[in-house]
Amino acid sequence: MSDLVQKQCKFAKMIAELITWLVSQEYECRFGDAWRSTDKLKVPMGSPGFDDDLEYSYQELLFYNKKSKLTYGKHNDRLAIDLLIHKNDKMLADEEYRPVGEKWESMGGSWGGRFGVKKDEYVTKIGWDAGHFEL
């Protein structure tokens, strides 16, 4: 088994463990983006910045539309997932993701709530992608 496949299997088990923990803490969750294909897709009818005959991956389109900061990332390698987490029928605000993100970090994962935050500010600030969990 390749190193990537081993990491993917480990990541899947970690996500299962995180979801089990979420349920035990009375959270509900839904999947956002998990795997993002690198398959090229034609852009129909062109739009500013695109030509009809060019092809772009989903990740590249997210980047172009400022929905991602990367043209290739952990989602493309099946090593990241975005989770939409609720408690008491209310979607969590970024700051409310902190206990979930810290649980994920204690399991050995990287949490998007740290993206763009200096380590000495972890206690007071949340990064730009609180619902993102990766290995």
Gap between the Cα atoms of 112 and 101, Å rounded? 8
Q: Residue 44 — very low, low, confident or very high, per pLDDT cuts 50/70/90?
A: low
Q: Residues with Cβ < 8 Å from 130, sequence gap 6 or more? A: 92, 94, 95, 97, 101, 111, 112, 113
- State residue 34 phi and psi, 5-degree precision: -120, -95
pLDDT at 46: 57
| Average pLDDT value for residue range 122-131 | 93
- Calculate what percentage of the chain has a pLDDT beyond 90: 70
When pLDDT is cut at 50, 70 and 90, the band that residue 121 belongs to is very high
* Cα separation, 16 vs 7, whole angstroms: 14
The pLDDT of residue 102 is above 60: yes
Domain spans in the chain, listed from the N-terminal domain onward: 3-33+80-134, 37-72
Neighbours of 10 (CB within 10 A): 14
Global confidence as pTM: 0.86
Question: Would you state the pLDDT for residue 49?
Answer: 63
Return the closest-CA partner of residue 19 out of 108, 78, 83, 111.
83
- Any idea what the Cα angle at residue 130 is, between residues 11 and 6, rounded to 5°? 10
* CB atoms near residue 107 (< 10 Å): 15
Rounded to a whole number of angstroms, the CA Rg of the chain reads 17
d(CA 59, CA 80): 13
Q: What is the pLDDT of residues 9-21, one digit of tens each?
A: 999 999 999 999 9
The residues with which 55 forms a beta bridge, in sequence order, are: 42
Better pLDDT: 99 or 1: 99
